[in-house]
Amino acid sequence: MSIPARGVGRPRVSSRETIAEAACELFLESGYEGTSIAGIAQRAGVSRSSFFNYFSSKSDVLWSGLDERIDRAVAALAEPGAGESPAAIAAVLAAILEGLEPDPLALAFGNVQAMGLADELQRESALRQGRLAAALSAAARDAGVERIRADVLGAAYAVAVLSSLRVWAEGGAGHGSPLAQLQHALPRITDLHWG
């Protein structure tokens, strides 16, 4: 029995990770703006349509893993009584970063200049912070916190999550975890003041 030959250039395994790895290699070599979806697909050994089976855009390669975690957090924060306890809020936020392995986003934060990603990361971080802040603020308001205080708390907690991820990634391997950074950051929110 003979085994049919595979097509030339067809990968043995076509996966999300293979495409993400190819994208990160190209971001490091050519910069974010100098990398095309076609180039990523070619490096990964997949078609453009295969790329779009896993990612909706070049930016999605970086953000999709974190977006899935934020989606779960937003859903948890929308549950009745989600904002009743600071410990419950901390647990929802911890779940965003808990067990987060180095991924394309962590690599991007750690190599922002080499990849030419400063504008992309600033813009896209702001979108995720805004989404998470709105969910946190709504949970706080549902728990009886007045609007301005709820908005300020929501923004502070959302920034703590994204900042923890960024600080961890910039520190490089062996410098704790993003969850440890978050646990370090959350108590500082109560210490914030001008002066």
Task: Report whether 83 contacts 74 (CB < 8 A).
Answer: no
Residue 175 has a pLDDT of 72
**Whats the size of the chain, residue-wise?**
195
Task: Report whether 100 contacts 179 (CB < 8 A).
Answer: yes
Closest CA to 21 of 41, 47, 4: 41
Residue 26 has a pLDDT of 95
Regions of the chain short of the pLDDT cut 50: 1-13, 195
Residue 173 has a pLDDT of 62
Q: What is the 3-state secondary structure (H, E, C) of 136-175?
A: HHHHHHHCCCCHHHHHHHHHHHHHHHHHHHHHHHHHCCCC
Residue 2 has a pLDDT of 37
CA distance 102 to 177: 10
Judged on CB neighbours under 10 Å (0-12, 13-18, 19+), 5 is exposed
Place of tokens 């205080």: 149
Residue 194 has a pLDDT of 60
Residue 103 has a pLDDT of 85
Residue 101 has a pLDDT of 78
Q: Which H helix or E strand runs over 30?
A: helix 16-30
Judged on CB neighbours under 10 Å (0-12, 13-18, 19+), 152 is middle
3-state helix, strand, coil split of the chain in percent (to 5) is 70, 0, 30
